């Protein structure tokens, strides 16, 4: 194991690509993840710009007795840092980006560190889009490896099922291509099977023939939360697959950089997409609109606009979070949530969110993959912003309190993409699929050299 005083193993990696060791002037900036609350201190940070550089670093790390951890943005860094990175080379992949769209076959080839914004922008001129999530700056690789919940999800399923091929640098530094005919077991595993099968340096994904979408958000002052939550629960209980929305009860500090409609306010917000014509979409939203939102941006928009409706933070943000999968949302569950985040509650959370699951997300995908579907009716996600280290412990307590309060309605399963901290990863998979994933990892990485935030 290397320590701050023994940099020799990591120093052997010098010359393969941009490299930062502890004590180097660039080390702190290079190791800082998107979630800036996470203090990850690896043995070295490598920033490869080519697939060849990735393979060279992985080989050199193996020779030096070090492990490697691929990281595209660091949105999911907390569970990685928890594992201790003293003998780990962090492979930050933000320079390994690029998108090529094949409009005829409706696919995109994406380099390993590419973020969704780049994919959506490249697909849009062809009248296409992708099963992206709510945030433009989440990377395609980490998102797909964790399943991928999109506002198109209840209609088109988990995003990981849109993966049709990949290029992976495995633990011994070999570049392996996988598709339906070549190394199909690896393709199966990459469809939602987590990040320690190798360094994903290229992905090919199916695109959706969607040029425009009825999407947006409805916003009320928090006093309306009880009525809005009850109406949303009713709308979503038996909703058609075309409707995928989220409801958040949010609190914003008074900050000049926030728009006035958010700054210093407590709000309830419903947002998402409706894959219907305008009249049918409006009919689905009518019970919510009847509650007279103060803002209503739902309208037909270019598909690329969907990346903006959830108002995810535009820049790296320090935060802690917790999540659960709910089987349903009855009156008692609504009351339990309102008791903690409703108008009469004092809360330190930035938001408590419910995302619709079900629909195509709950049905087995038409392609074979490690994560073919998700159980449950709603995803519960609670987040606290932690601008200073002292805010972390109370933030963790506040997020866990919400998850605990909804425990009577929660299933045992977890959603890797929303698991900030270490969780029982096996609980997210069918037992046979979990064993098959383990066998694939044993074959590709017998020495356990590739480290992921959620280990298989
Ligand atoms: C603001 C915000 C909004 C979000 N919205 C959604 C959403 O709508 N739907 C959803 O499903 N999720 C969402 N997420 C969760 C997000 O999908 C996960 O955090 C995901 O892991 C991020 O992937 P990343 O590559 O950007 O992050 P990273 O932290 O870089 O990666 C997470 C893990 O993925 C693996 N990994 C990443 N890149 C590679 C690679 N190239 N090769 C091999 N392994 C790799 C590693 O194991 C890594 O530890 C959101 C997160 C945030 C912070």
DSSP states of 406-423: TGGGB-S---GGG--S--
Residue 223 Cα to ligand 1 midpoint, Å, equals 34
Q: Cα separation of 411 and 398, whole Å?
A: 20
pLDDT at 14: 87
Give the position, in ligand 1's atom list, of the atom nearest the Cα of 143. 17
Per-domain boundaries in the chain: 8-92, 99-209+431-443, 212-418
Residue 5 Cα to ligand 1 midpoint, Å, equals 32
- At 300, the pLDDT band (50, 70, 90 cuts) reads very high
pLDDT > 70 fraction of the chain, expressed in percent and rounded: 99
pLDDT digits (tens, 9 = 90+) for 115-137: 999 999 999 999 999 999 999 99
For the ranges 33-42, 233-242, 400-409, 419-428, the lowest mean pLDDT is seen at: 419-428
Q: Has residue 8 got a pLDDT over 90?
A: no
Q: Cα separation of 31 and 74, whole Å?
A: 9
pLDDT at 314: 86
Task: Look at the chain and count its residues.
Answer: 456
Angle at 72 between CA 23 and CA 439, to 5 degrees: 110
pLDDT at 355: 98
pLDDT > 90 fraction of the chain, expressed in percent and rounded: 94
Give the position, in ligand 1's atom list, of the atom nearest the Cα of 168. 42
Cα distance between the two ends of the chain: 22
* Topology at the third CATH level for domain 212-418: Vanillyl-alcohol Oxidase; Chain A, domain 3 (3.40.462)
Residue 69 Cα to ligand 1 midpoint, Å, equals 13
pLDDT digits (tens, 9 = 90+) for 314-336: 899 999 999 999 999 999 999 99
For ligand 1, residues with CB inside 6 Å are 70-77, 80, 93, 112, 133-135, 138-139, 141-143, 145-149, 195, 199-200, 312-313, 417, 452-453
Q: Cα separation of 44 and 24, whole Å?
A: 10
Architecture field, domain 99-209+431-443: 2-Layer Sandwich (3.30)
Q: Cα separation of 310 and 316, whole Å?
A: 16
pLDDT at 456: 86
Q: Has residue 49 got a pLDDT over 60?
A: yes
- At 13, the pLDDT band (50, 70, 90 cuts) reads confident
For the ranges 1-5, 127-131, 216-220, 451-455, the lowest mean pLDDT is seen at: 1-5
Mean pLDDT of 381-401: 96
Residue 203 Cα to ligand 1 midpoint, Å, equals 15
Residue 451 Cα to ligand 1 midpoint, Å, equals 14
Q: Cα separation of 65 and 44, whole Å?
A: 13
pLDDT at 370: 97
**Nearest alpha carbon, ligand 1 atom 18:** 417
Q: Cα separation of 292 and 271, whole Å?
A: 15
Chain-centroid distance of CA 251 in Å reads: 22
Give the position, in ligand 1's atom list, of the atom nearest the Cα of 198. 43
* 3-state class (DSSP) for residue 225: helix
Residue 158 Cα to ligand 1 midpoint, Å, equals 14
pLDDT digits (tens, 9 = 90+) for 362-371: 999 999 999 9
Q: Does domain 8-92 have CATH number 3.40.50.170?
A: no
Do the beta carbons of residue 298 and residue 231 sit within 8 Å? no
Q: Cα separation of 420 and 392, whole Å?
A: 13
Mutate to test the pocket of ligand 1, among 195, 308, 423 (most ligand atoms within 8 A of CB): 195
Residue 83 Cα to ligand 1 midpoint, Å, equals 17
Task: Report phi then psi at 48, rounded to 5.
Answer: -75, 145
Give the position, in ligand 1's atom list, of the atom nearest the Cα of 115. 26
Contacts of 332 (CB under 8 A, 6+ apart): 408
Q: Has residue 4 got a pLDDT over 60?
A: no
**Nearest alpha carbon, ligand 1 atom 33:** 142
Chain-centroid distance of CA 372 in Å reads: 17
DSSP string of 274-315, one letter each residue: E-S-HHHHHHHHHHHHTT--SEE--EEEEGGGGGGTT---SS
pLDDT digits (tens, 9 = 90+) for 421-437: 989 999 889 999 999 99
Q: Cα separation of 20 and 92, whole Å?
A: 11
């Amino acid at each position: 194991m290397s320590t701050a005083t023994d940099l020799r193993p990591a120093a052997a990696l010098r010359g393969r690509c941009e490299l930062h060791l502890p004590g180097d002037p660039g080390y702190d900036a290079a190791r800082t993840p998107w979630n800036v609350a996470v203090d990850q201190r690896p043995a070295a940070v490598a920033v490869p710009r080519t697939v060849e550089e990735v393979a060279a670093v992985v080989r050199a790390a193996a020779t030096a007795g070090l492990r490697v951890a691929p990281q595209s943005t660091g949105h999911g860094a907390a569970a990685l840092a928890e594992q201790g990175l003293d003998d780990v080379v962090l492979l930050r992949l933000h320079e390994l980006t690029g998108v090529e769209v094949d409009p005829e076959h409706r696919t995109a080839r994406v380099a390993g560190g590419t973020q969704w914004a780049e994919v959506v922008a490249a697909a849009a001129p062809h009248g296409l889009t992708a099963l992206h999530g709510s945030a433009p700056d989440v990377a395609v690789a980490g998102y797909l490896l964790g399943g991928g919940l999109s506002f198109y999800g209840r209609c088109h399923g988990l995003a990981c099922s849109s993966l049709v091929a990949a290029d992976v640098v495995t633990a011994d530094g070999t570049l392996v291509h996988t598709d339906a005919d070549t190394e199909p077991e690896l393709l199966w595993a990459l469809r939602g099977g987590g990040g320690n099968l190798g360094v994903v340096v290229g992905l090919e994904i199916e695109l959706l023939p969607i040029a425009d979408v009825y999407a947006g958000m409805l916003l009320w002052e928090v006093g309306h939360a009880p009525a809005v939550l009850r109406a949303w629960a009713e709308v979503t209980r038996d909703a058609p697959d075309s409707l995928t929305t989220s409801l958040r009860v949010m609190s914003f500090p008074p900050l000049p950089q926030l728009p006035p409609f958010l700054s210093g306010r407590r709000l309830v917000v419903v947002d998402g997409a409706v894959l219907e014509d305008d009249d049918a979409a409006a009919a689905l939203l009518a019970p919510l609109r009847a509650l007279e939102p103060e803002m209503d941006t739902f309208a037909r928009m270019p598909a690329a606009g969907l990346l903006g409706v959830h108002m995810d933070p535009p820049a790296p943000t320090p935060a802690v979070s917790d999540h659960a999968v709910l089987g349903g949302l009855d009156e008692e569950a609504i009351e339990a949530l309102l008791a903690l985040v409703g108008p009469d509650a004092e809360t330190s959370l930035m938001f408590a969110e419910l995302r619709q699951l079900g629909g195509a997300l709950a049905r087995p995908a038409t392609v074979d993959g490690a994560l073919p579907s998700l159980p449950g009716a709603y995803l519960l996600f609670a987040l606290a912003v932690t601008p200073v280290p002292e805010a972390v412990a109370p933030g963790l307590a506040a997020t866990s309190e919400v998850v605990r309060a909804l425990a009577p309605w929660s299933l045992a399963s977890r959603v890797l993409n929303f698991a900030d901290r270490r969780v029982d990863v096996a609980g997210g998979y069918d037992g046979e699929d979990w064993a098959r994933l383990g066998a694939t990892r044993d074959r590709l990485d017998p020495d356990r050299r590739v480290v992921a935030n959620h280990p298989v």
